[in-house]
Structure 1
Amino acid sequence: MIHKTKRTPTAVLFATCASTLVLTGCFTEFDIEDDTPTAATQCESQTLQNGLCQANQSEVIDWLAKNFENQQRNVVYELNSAEAGVQTVQDFDAVAAPATDNIEASETNTIEDGVDESDWVKVIDNRYLATPKQPKVDYQYVWKENTAKQKQDCQDNYFDGGFFIEPSVQVDSIVDTIEIDSKTSEPYFYNWCEGRWELDDIYITEGELKVFEMIQTPASSAIISNTKLNPYSNYVSGLYDVLDDTGLLVLSSLSDELPEMRSNYGWWHNKSGIDMIDVSDPINPQANWSIKLDGYIVDTRVLNDELFVVSRRSPYEFYQFADTLNTDALNSIPTNKLMGTIQLNDEAPQLLSPIETCLLPKDERPAWGITFTYLTKIDLTDPSNIQTVCTLAPMHSIYMNEEAVYFLTTDYNWRNDDNRVKTNLDRFDLNTLNYTGSLYTDGSLGWGIDSKFRIKEQTLNEQQVLTLILTEQNSNNREHYIRNFEVNGSEFTQLDVYPEAGEKAIGKEREDIFSARIDGNSVQIVTYLNSDPLYEFNISDPSNIWMESELEIPGFSTYLHNIEDTELTVGLGQTDDRRLKIELYDQTGTDSSVLGTIELDSRTYSPATWDYKAFTSINDAENQLFRIAIPIQRWGYNDWTVNSETYYTNMAGIWLIQVDYSTSPATITQVNEIEVTDQPRDVYQSRAVIRGSAVHYAINGEVFSVDFSETTDVHSSAQ
């Protein structure tokens, strides 16, 4: 155990907002229904050197014109779009199920307690399971054979000695003369001179929201309602159960024109849909209200009957007139086309944000492209109450607790200063949506599942503390740090950093962080190269971070889950030979230990290793049992043996694990490994729900039910 002498906090003040602005931020609140822009303080008059500033219209236009060239070099394709209305249908006779005891069911695994996240499955009243069936677009093509002249012209003009010749322009049909640009070095494998496939028809199957009753004995499910989603939805991105389980929010991307669905260019005009469905009577769901907004939804959260939406869009006009886009051209773009709109039901569309309220980066941030990013707050009890703030600063991901939301961006070539990595954090107050300040710090928060858990803002030692787990990389070396900052209004004051000189490093040379977790006073980090050190740090005194324990084991974990009110941690990851494993760690005091490891056969994977929402658990505190259900899959093998080698079938199933902490030491056991289907399609969207003694596994509109036991009987909702 290493204790450090408590030090005086180092006062490192980062970007602040001008004190003359409204409340604590650089954003003036506005009513979306009010077309009159509020007064804006010009960027030049603001004293802050970094962070975001509130500009006037001419400053925004000037900024766009200057930065447009970067956007042309960095086009990012997003999902298609659409608009919609929700229609509820009943294709069967549904009878209300008799009341049953209120058996607790598992919920969506989230980053922050109390802050809900969208998921593929939501549970209503601990009794009903709601899940979407994705819309589907099928294209029918017909073969059109070329004429003899077309075939000969194709051979003469497109091929030379078995090699394909690239024309300088794209052509839709064979013409007499084609200008030759260059000859490739790749031989052709298919002689498309004979003919071509042409699109003949498009078949569209609308998405559906299905609600099932979860039955205990025997473990099974029964569909009780089936709601057709709006016909313009081309992808359902998630669900929320809200308003005390009386409403379901359906998030989706939308397309204005059905024939253009899934088009490569659909994202230019992309829209997103938010549909509220009344499920106070789950047998008879009813459409309540619908919101359509321009842009692609990046992430969402629900807190206290309010939906927070982070969306972004790049106006099509930027690229349509790329060669002539300048300040004059930008001024000629209609405001609704530039800023985008939001629309409730059939009411007139309103601006997502007036241009005067859009925040500009005051510092020299990297400009990967011009993208408007919006933070929108929607009152779910009164959807006409909408607030939005806009920024033109880059953003990779978000972190949100019950107080604030952070826009996070990592730059791997910060201002070309010795290739240093920097992370930008822009903070917004959730109550007012005011921008409160920015933090710039060395290092990155990483990528993948571990990056979601490398940041936390909470109250420690009567201080509002922001904890970050950051990685700096120079050449092949990686250095990992824990940094604590006090958050006080617009200021971030560094309290402590670990390690400092003389303190043990986090990880060995060239080891990367594979998983991390900040949970109350504890910080857990797993690094890996040839082995798996699991470190635990104590941050109960945010000015004095110290290493509490270190545990070295084979393999690595990509997700860590702490069992509430215990010192037990479950780690999900892989062995050294890349087999799926789950382990139980006891991290009491300085004597961390492995209490048990369970491994599956090779070629078995789980989406829970990269998607924390796929990790389903429920804690039976009364009986001190912690139950886990994890989707698993195998691909591309036949179940037979040749020369003593075994080949496995395709499968999708559930891995059932139980931790018994009623005894000391606690134990971890595999209850079952169950195959529910040999078609592991869409497994990345699969989810399990644990309810009492039953487990219900949902995958693209179907539900498979099993007992949380050693039995292998599987009930399909299609039966």
Structure 2
Amino acid sequence: MDIGTRTTNARSIFATSFLAMMLVACGGGNGKTAGTEQSNSLLRAVSSEAEFVTHFKTLYTQNNGNDQVSAAPQASEGAAANDGSSGGYSSTYTLENNVDEFDVLKYDGDFLYIVPTLQQNCCFISQGNQAFASDALVAPQDPQNPASIRILSTSPTIATAQQVTTIPLDDGEYVQGLYVQGDSLISISTSQYYGSYGDVWRDIAPWGQQSLAVKIYNTATIENIQKMWDIRLEGGFVDSRRIGDTLYLLSRHTPYWDNIYYYPASEQEVSANRETLANTTSADIIPNITINEQTRPLFTAQDCLITRDDQTNKYGSPVITSITAVPLSSPGNAQTTCYNEDASGIYMSSSALYISQPTFSSSEGGTRIHKFGLGAGKPAYRGSADVPGHLWGRGQVDFRMSEKGNQLRLVTTRYTGDGDDLRDHQLTILQESNDDLRLEQISTLPNAARPAELGKPNESLYGVRFLDERLYLVSFEQIDPLYVLDLSNPEDPYIAGELEIPGFSDFLHPVNNELLLGLGQSAQNQGLVKLSLFNVADIANPIELATQLLGKDGGWNYSEAQYNRHAFTYLQHPDGSDRFTVPVKSSYNTEQAGYVNENRLYLLEINGKSNSAAASLDLIGDIIASPAPRENWYGGQNRSVIHDDAVYFLSGDYIWSALWTSPDVQTGPQ
């Protein structure tokens, strides 16, 4: 009961409004109505298969020029946290507790599961106004080392790892990441490149002729791994999360026809599209799902929502965005909700999925948010909102969103056009309306009563972290202000404290309620990665307790953890200390060998955290990944696992390891 299409005449809207109201009320499960003309909901239910087809055809048969390909967002930035630890070993660092995230390295306490680096197509190709996914530019593969998922057994007491088996990959199978759940290994692969959110994500053609695959393997007997489920969806992969037994997949699909104009810019092209689509049915539009070679439609027309038909809401797209819930214990019962607008990024709590997209109704731009409730069955539409400013910029942008109770807190950036102050940052708090499928505004900051800006003039927003009733923000142009916002009264948030220091933090990690860790770049020692430990016990007076500089002085250094939380590993140790690792890639000049590229994993501890005023940030040592047996095509991946005293460092496709107590004695590559 969920996707979008625009009906072509007022009579059909009136005739179907009552049925649409019933469909949404059923799908939402909350008694709200969004199918009536009085509703302010931004999406409404499809009333019939005929309306679904008509709406979709309309999007191809109106002269829009290239309106659908407006400038788009870029990547991501910062919310609340999970250190990723499980018992005596670390696991994938995630944004929210109980919401697992796929990654290229997974660990279950006994085995390391590694996705090969060279498993991605590289590019989208553009010819005129038609952009399409290309198989012409593919990362090269080593014929002596066919693509496969590697599985290594570990011996934590001596910090060694040994390959025990592999799972060969098919030609054209590009694995994006893995999940581990009990004795199941879940792989997600695509037919094309999964890159940063960007301009191409708002395009139409690239989402055509793509496919997404999920394979579920039984690993109970590691020497005899069995593939239990092979699930394939038509469409391009956007993102995924796992909550308990349910795997959530976000995908987008553009139906394919010969001789179609995706962006009709003249009446002749519009007429040609009408002729091409004259006999189109829902089967031509709806993508298929194939489960263990049994194929069926991914959804029905009535499982979809469409953009409401009015003059102020023109964000419908002929690309279908699908949210598929796959119960891992019975994948054949997968259910999907869909709609017909963009999907530029997601944030997921344990109870809801929020999908965001940019809007361009004003010169400052805006962000549209759609909320879907999670639970048994398919995701249920809960409401939408438009907020000023863009959500998607640099870094890990889903950190800019956080759910608390029934409220969504988010931080956006508005571009003012003022050369003296180009950027204004805004906090907005939303909650579900009681009587409609919309998200209503509770408060914003700055506001008339509290006009102080979030950040000084022209400062960009870097690290963002929501933690319960606080929000930490780091902005930067020449200095690094750390702002602490009090959100205890959601109707009146305010800036409670501020600290100015040189440098900036891209990534913020809460150690406890009184200590905050920041990872970014140094301003005084340019080129070095900087770690800062902040005492935030006094919300009005944050203090930088300690710093550590990582990398090669005089060289160029960066950490993948600055923009990818999965590269950061954190584990609370039984002795009361917190252990964590940070990978740093350094390029520097030597007299003997010229420029050298080096991957190091730095081992650090936070000690004395029970007394926030006396806590320390201590460097223990590092593990150096020497050149691997084969070169990585585009730089490789850096991940790590801490298991008791053992540390495993994935650099590219290979593992180096050492004991925490003697990091200079290293084993690898494996």
For 2:97, give the aligned amino acid.
Answer: D
- Where 2:489 maps in the other structure, the secondary structure is coil
- 8 Å CA contact retained: 2:326, 2:335: yes
Q: Deviations over 1:138-192 (max 9, x none)?
A: 9xxxxxxxxxxxxxxxxxxxxxxxxxxxxx9xxxxxxxxxxxxxxxxxxxxxxxx
Pairwise CA distance, 1:683: 4.4
CA distance in 2, matches of 1:28, 1:568: 41
- 1:714 corresponds, among 663, 666, 669, to 666
Instruction: Tell me what 2:535 maps to.
Output: 586
Does residue 687 in structure 1 map to residue 639 in structure 2? Answer: yes
- 1:508 corresponds, among 456, 468, 472, to 456
Per the alignment, do residues 618 and 25 of structure 1 end up closer, same or farther by CA in structure 2, a change over 3 Å counting?
farther
- 2:297 corresponds, among 351, 355, 363, to 351
The within-5 A match list for 1:536-551 is: 536-551=484-499
Instruction: Tell me what 1:247 maps to.
Output: 184
For 1:435, give the aligned amino acid.
Answer: Y
CA distance in 1, matches of 2:467, 2:625: 35
Instruction: Tell me what 2:59 maps to.
Output: 67
Per the alignment, do residues 42 and 111 of structure 1 end up closer, same or farther by CA in structure 2, a change over 3 Å counting?
closer
Does residue 114 in structure 1 map to residue 56 in structure 2? Answer: no
Q: Deviations over 1:258-299 (max 9, x none)?
A: xxxxxxx99642111100011122343211111011011100
Larger mean CA deviation between 216-225 and 521-530 belongs to: 216-225
Instruction: Tell me what 1:615 maps to.
Output: 568
Does residue 105 in structure 1 map to residue 89 in structure 2? Answer: yes
Return the TM-score normalized by structure 2.
0.79
- 8 Å CA contact retained: 2:250, 2:321: yes
- 8 Å CA contact retained: 2:479, 2:500: yes
Per the alignment, do residues 707 and 658 of structure 1 end up closer, same or farther by CA in structure 2, a change over 3 Å counting?
same
Q: Deviations over 1:417-465 (max 9, x none)?
A: 4x13221111111124221211112122232324211111122xxxx22
- 2:252 corresponds, among 280, 290, 312, to 312
CA distance in 2, matches of 1:267, 1:410: 18
For 2:448, give the aligned amino acid.
Answer: A
Pairwise CA distance, 1:128: 1.7
Pairwise CA distance, 1:318: 7.0
Instruction: Tell me what 1:496 maps to.
Output: 443
Pairwise CA distance, 1:339: 1.4
- Where 2:408 maps in the other structure, the secondary structure is strand
CA distance in 1, matches of 2:29, 2:235: 23
Pairwise CA distance, 1:500: 2.1
- 1:372 corresponds, among 299, 320, 329, to 320
Does residue 234 in structure 1 map to residue 178 in structure 2? Answer: no
Pairwise CA distance, 1:507: 0.7
Pairwise CA distance, 1:388: 0.6
Per the alignment, do residues 286 and 717 of structure 1 end up closer, same or farther by CA in structure 2, a change over 3 Å counting?
farther
Does residue 53 in structure 1 map to residue 44 in structure 2? Answer: yes
- 8 Å CA contact retained: 1:633, 1:683: no
Pairwise CA distance, 1:685: 2.5
Does residue 676 in structure 1 map to residue 625 in structure 2? Answer: yes
Per the alignment, do residues 709 and 332 of structure 1 end up closer, same or farther by CA in structure 2, a change over 3 Å counting?
farther
- Where 2:90 maps in the other structure, the secondary structure is coil
CA distance in 1, matches of 2:463, 2:112: 30
Q: How many pairs align?
A: 577
Pairwise CA distance, 1:618: 0.9
For 1:391, give the aligned amino acid.
Answer: Y
Does residue 523 in structure 1 map to residue 523 in structure 2? Answer: no
Pairwise CA distance, 1:704: 1.2
The within-5 A match list for 1:377-526 is: 377-411=325-359, 413-414=360-361, 417=362, 419-431=363-375, 432-459=378-405, 464-476=406-418, 477-488=422-433, 490-501=437-448, 503=450, 504-526=452-474
**Rg larger in 1 or in 2?**
1
Pairwise CA distance, 1:136: 6.0
For 2:45, give the aligned amino acid.
Answer: Q
- 8 Å CA contact retained: 1:373, 1:391: yes
- 1:342 corresponds, among 269, 289, 294, to 289
Pairwise CA distance, 1:536: 0.9
Pairwise CA distance, 1:686: 2.1
Pairwise CA distance, 1:334: 5.4
CA distance in 1, matches of 2:289, 2:102: 21
CA distance in 2, matches of 1:129, 1:434: 36
- 1:705 corresponds, among 621, 646, 657, to 657
Does residue 330 in structure 1 map to residue 277 in structure 2? Answer: yes
- 8 Å CA contact retained: 2:383, 2:432: no
Per the alignment, do residues 510 and 391 of structure 1 end up closer, same or farther by CA in structure 2, a change over 3 Å counting?
same
Does residue 271 in structure 1 map to residue 211 in structure 2? Answer: yes
Q: Deviations over 1:185-212 (max 9, x none)?
A: xxxxxxxxxxxxxx9x998765312221
Return the TM-score normalized by structure 1.
0.74
- Where 2:56 maps in the other structure, the secondary structure is helix
- Where 1:630 maps in the other structure, the secondary structure is strand
Per the alignment, do residues 277 and 104 of structure 1 end up closer, same or farther by CA in structure 2, a change over 3 Å counting?
same
Per the alignment, do residues 325 and 313 of structure 1 end up closer, same or farther by CA in structure 2, a change over 3 Å counting?
farther
CA distance in 2, matches of 1:319, 1:692: 60
Unaligned 5+ segments in structure 2 are 1-16, 71-85, 122-127, 129-137, 193-204, 263-268
For 1:639, give the aligned amino acid.
Answer: T
Does residue 285 in structure 1 map to residue 217 in structure 2? Answer: no
CA distance in 1, matches of 2:469, 2:457: 27
- Where 2:331 maps in the other structure, the secondary structure is coil
Pairwise CA distance, 1:522: 1.1
Instruction: Tell me what 2:14 maps to.
Output: none
Instruction: Tell me what 2:135 maps to.
Output: none
Per the alignment, do residues 74 and 321 of structure 1 end up closer, same or farther by CA in structure 2, a change over 3 Å counting?
closer
Instruction: Tell me what 2:197 maps to.
Output: none
- 8 Å CA contact retained: 2:207, 2:252: no
Per the alignment, do residues 377 and 396 of structure 1 end up closer, same or farther by CA in structure 2, a change over 3 Å counting?
same
Q: Deviations over 1:653-706 (max 9, x none)?
A: 212221113454111122123321235735452211111111111244421112
Pairwise CA distance, 1:46: 4.6
CA distance in 2, matches of 1:583, 1:568: 10
- 8 Å CA contact retained: 1:18, 1:46: no
Per the alignment, do residues 614 and 107 of structure 1 end up closer, same or farther by CA in structure 2, a change over 3 Å counting?
same
Identity percentage of aligned residues = 23
Instruction: Tell me what 1:658 maps to.
Output: 605
Per the alignment, do residues 540 and 692 of structure 1 end up closer, same or farther by CA in structure 2, a change over 3 Å counting?
same
For 1:433, give the aligned amino acid.
Answer: P
Per the alignment, do residues 611 and 24 of structure 1 end up closer, same or farther by CA in structure 2, a change over 3 Å counting?
farther
Pairwise CA distance, 1:73: 6.9
- 2:590 corresponds, among 613, 628, 639, to 639
CA distance in 1, matches of 2:399, 2:663: 36
Pairwise CA distance, 1:623: 2.3
Pairwise CA distance, 1:217: 3.6
- Where 2:596 maps in the other structure, the secondary structure is coil
Does residue 598 in structure 1 map to residue 548 in structure 2? Answer: yes
Per the alignment, do residues 365 and 449 of structure 1 end up closer, same or farther by CA in structure 2, a change over 3 Å counting?
farther
- Where 1:449 maps in the other structure, the secondary structure is coil
CA distance in 1, matches of 2:316, 2:164: 48
CA distance in 2, matches of 1:136, 1:552: 43
The within-5 A match list for 1:78-93 is: none
Unaligned 5+ segments in structure 1 are 1-15, 30-40, 77-101, 139-167, 169-198, 256-264
Pairwise CA distance, 1:648: 4.6
For 1:128, give the aligned amino acid.
Answer: F
- 1:532 corresponds, among 472, 480, 504, to 480
Q: Deviations over 1:358-407 (max 9, x none)?
A: 32111544559531110000110001111111111112111111111111
